[in-house]
Structure 1
Amino acid sequence: MAGLFASSAQTASNTLGKLEGDVQLANGPEDSISDIAFNPNPADQKDFLAVASWDKKVRIYEIMSNGQGVGKVASDHEGPVLSVDFFKDGTKVLSGGADKQGKVIDLGTGQSLQFAQHDQPIRSVRYFEANGTPMAVTGSWDKTIKYWDYRQSTPAGVLTCQDRVYTMDVRNDLLVVGTAERYINVVNLKDPTKFYKTLTSPLKWQTRVVSCFTDSMGFAIGSIEGRCAIQYVEDKDASLNFSFKCHRDPAQGNVTDVYAVNDISFHPVHGTFSTAGSDGTFHFWDKDAKHRLKGYPNVGGSILATTFNKTGSIFAYAVGYDWAKGFQGNTANYPNKLMLHPVEADECKPRPSVKKR
């Protein structure tokens, strides 16, 4: 299936996207951004964006109609913050970091409260609901995932993984956990104390990101080898699984430059998705038509994290150094910024299906 998606060098003119309308968020973090999340509540007319950074802070901005952000709330951790996620109602933000703590921030009061503790850094934190109760799940380098009622100081449940948790995502009752050594664990949150399914990633190299489909029927996997895999949960849908190459520069002689896929985000309305990588580009894809919708020019630095707002009209992406080239690549003038891309009507719409007669 790899050949069904064109590489960045094969971009046709009609699929080349533009960056001219992108706006840089003012007063951004002072160090690299590790994660970003938009308020998902459709009843809230405002867009709030939570930003986790290596400067040990969580910042929450209100995004104005002109694309500029106004800082609303900031909260401190004792180490780099690695993950953020909003409550479904948009009133609170979860965060987790290298200080091994999980915190909840109330947007109304600006107060933060520690609710989670691990033995090693918390790599990922996600919100979910259990029988209507707001809950959090944290994944750590201590090889565990823990479930929390954020009002309690002890976990509601613990699952031990095969290795360190590198990435995690939740959609409805689907929890997907990617660990070191390419293990992928699938959990049904209606039965959260056991793995529904465990598989080895179909990609050959280290897992960088997992992201659930909007309909929770499956998930996408991104790896350091410039590949993305589309994986359905149920065995009956296994024929729909495939992987493809992306974020690679064409061969110069016999050499192809390969870049990590750092993040994958699904469009909340259309169910199409983005990939973003160390090569400084992002692309929009239609998994059902196996088609790239748009590819974008290099933004000047590695893209670390991405997310869509609740209507899919804004695509946010963080630019910064991802250590893909070691310490020598971390120069003083390397960009560190958060960009907001206005999504035009046709950029993320699925490709019209062609029915065989």
Structure 2
Amino acid sequence: MSDDPRADVTGGVTRLTGHAEPIWAVATAQVAGRPVAVTGSYDETLRVWDLTTGRQRGEPLTGHTDEVLAVATAVVDGRAVAVTGSADRTVRVWDLAGGRQLGDPLGHAYGVPAVATAVVDGRAVAVTGSADRTVRVWDLTTGRQVGRSMCGHTGPVWAVATMEVGGRPVAVTGSYDETLRVWDLTTREQLGRVLTGHAGAVRAVATVVLDGRPVAVSGGQDETVRVWDLAGGRQLGRPLTGHDGWVLALDTVTIDGRPRIVSGGEDQRLLLWDPATGGRVGEPLTGSTDKVRAVTTVVVDGRPHVIGAGQDGTVRVWDLTVGGPNRLRTGR
């Protein structure tokens, strides 16, 4: 693969290349008023892409000594930062405008494949999940762990997402133990019962508000996507089936005021779902030539976009309002 970062645009799909190895993670942020995507790769680097121009912003961010497995973004003291988890057992914080690492690495006993961000008691925090089976909360201003580690999973924690439930910030974690758990980020206590139903490791978690209630969405090695009522602690409806292989990545997006789930996985496709009905929306988003390992969504120039990345080392950005049969046309 070329080391010259570049973008190809065809039929509403932008293809960004530059990483030398598979991409494991992608997140979005606003830097200097412009939407960017932040990607983490097996090549141990972080890259920042301007989603308006399709060009890489600055040089790759280096410092990790093993694969970058997870990326999340936040605003800390008025500046956009990325938080990364790596197989090198560290969590690192990066100034996206300045293109540099902030502070010292934070750490787990084993690799860190799950990172999310939240605001707890007015402070920006990172929530990390590790192969050491723990979930930890980090103050992004001080660089210190907040309270004790959250323990309960009996397998590596592979996925984490955050949201508010009943006015309090919570984290939802998915694990190789085939379960999801919900944690109060203020007290760091587990909330409710363990969510069970997956018949394989939970590889991805996202959150969304559906009809006024907070829900989690999970995907895993059983090839299903599942929707969970977080207030009631139960699964909603039947598993969503359609992927031919493990579900490795999830996110949610609002289109025309309606929430949608976006899932990607081993079958190289991204599928969109209506969580209210459990039905598929539109045709699959295709073009990836290997496993889709990371998915996120973003609005660029008022239009919803889906970003997918993975094993083929490329980032693809689908404009959902442009192109042929596998696009959604808003306003209809």
With normalisation by structure 2, the TM-score equals 0.83
Is 1:95 paired with 2:95? no
For residues 216-227 of structure 1, what are the structure 2 equivalents within 5 Å? 217-227=214-224
Q: Give the distance between the partners of 1:221 and 1:109, measured in 2 at CA.
A: 34
Q: Which amino acid counterpart does residue 318 of structure 2 have in structure 1? A: H
Residue deviations 1:149-197 (CA, integer Å, cap 9, x gap):
13435411221132211111112423101112112110133x3410012
1:290 counterpart (250, 260, 278): 278
CA distance in 2, matches of 1:140, 1:305: 17
- 2: CA distance, partners of 1:348 / 1:305: 24
Report the CA distance shift for 1:228/1:109 in structure 2 as closer, same or farther (over 3 A): same
* 1:136–1:148 CA contact under 8 A, matched in 2: yes
Equivalenced residue count is: 302
Q: In the alignment, which residue of structure 1 is the partner of 2:189?
A: 194
Aligned residue for 2:162? 170
Q: Is the 8 A contact 1:187 1:195 kept in 2?
A: yes
Check whether the contact 2:321–2:330 (CA below 8 A) recurs between aligned residues.
no
Residue identity opposite 1:213 in structure 2: V
Q: Which residue of 1 aligns with 2:35?
A: 47
- Structure 1 residue 131 corresponds to structure 2 residue 131: no
- Correspondence 1:61 to 2:49: yes
Q: Deviations over 1:27-55 (max 9, x none)?
A: x21111000001168xx641111101011
- Counterpart CA distance in 2 for 1:226 and 1:348 is 28
Contact 2:127 2:160 in 1 (8 A): no
Q: Offset of 1:309 from its aligned partner? A: 1.0
Tell me the SS of whatever aligns to 1:174: strand
Structure 2, unaligned runs of 5 or more = 1-9
Q: Which has the larger radius of gyration?
A: 1
Q: C-alpha distance in 2, partners of 1:348/1:156?
A: 44
- Structure 1: give runs of 5+ residues left out of the alignment: 1-18, 249-258, 321-334, 353-357
1:347 aligns with 2:328: yes
Amino acid of the structure 2 residue aligned with 1:342: D
Q: Confirm or deny: 8 A CA contact 1:40 1:90 kept in the other structure.
A: no
Pairwise mapping of residues 293-332 of structure 1 onto structure 2 (< 5 A)?
293-296=281-284, 298-299=286-287, 300-310=289-299, 313-320=304-311
Residue 67 of structure 2 is matched in structure 1 by 80
Moved more, 89-98 or 100-109: 89-98
- Amino acid of the structure 2 residue aligned with 1:24: R
Does structure 1 conserve the Cα–Cα contact (< 8 Å) formed by 2:260 and 2:272? yes
Separation (CA, whole Å) in 1 of partners of 2:259 and 2:172: 18
Matched, 1:262 2:248: yes
| Paired residues of 1:115 and 1:148 also in contact (CA < 8 A) | no
Output the CA distance in 2 between the equivalents of 1:153 and 1:296. Answer: 41
On the 8 A contact 1:319/1:339 being kept in 2, the answer is no
Say whether the 8 Å CA contact 1:284–1:348 is kept in structure 2: no
Higher relative contact order by CA 8 Å / sep ≥ 6: 1 or 2? 1
Q: Which residue of 2 aligns with 1:122?
A: 112
SS in 1 for 2:177: helix
Aligned-residue offset at 1:200 = 4.0
Deviations 1:208-255 (A, max 9, x none): 1111114670111111122111111122x847343121213xxxxxxx
Q: 1:318 deviation in Å?
A: 0.8
RMSD: 2.5
Is contact 1:232-1:241 (8 Å) kept?
A: no
1:202-221 matches, cutoff 5 A? 202-214=197-209, 217-221=214-218
Identity of matched residues, %: 17
Q: Quick one: which of 67, 70, 76 aligns to 2:56?
A: 70
* Stretch moving more, 154-163 or 279-288: 154-163
Q: Give the structure 2 partner of residue 326 of structure 1.
A: none
Alpha carbons 1:145, 1:161 under 8 Å: kept: no
Per the alignment, do residues 161 and 302 of structure 1 end up closer, same or farther by CA in structure 2, a change over 3 Å counting? same
For residue 281 of structure 2, give the secondary structure of its aligned residue in structure 1: strand
Q: Which amino acid aligns with 1:177?
A: T
Aligned to 1:34: 24
What is the TM-score when the length of structure 1 is the normalising length?
Answer: 0.77
Shift of 1:95: 0.8
Q: Secondary structure at the match of 1:39?
A: strand
TM-superposed CA distance for 1:69, in Å, is: 2.4
Structure 1 residues 33 and 90 mapped into 2: Cα distance closer, same or farther (>3 Å)? farther
Give the conservation status (yes or no) of the 8 Å contact 1:94–1:105: yes
User: What is the aligned partner in structure 1 of residue 94 from structure 2?
Assistant: 105
**1:228 aligns with one of 225, 228, 241:** 225
Correspondent of 1:142 among 123, 129, 132: 132
Higher strand share: 2
Q: Which moved more, 1:277-286 or 1:107-116?
A: 107-116
Matched letter for residue 340 of structure 1: V
Q: Cα 1:239–1:314, aligned 2, differ >3 Å: closer, same or farther?
A: closer
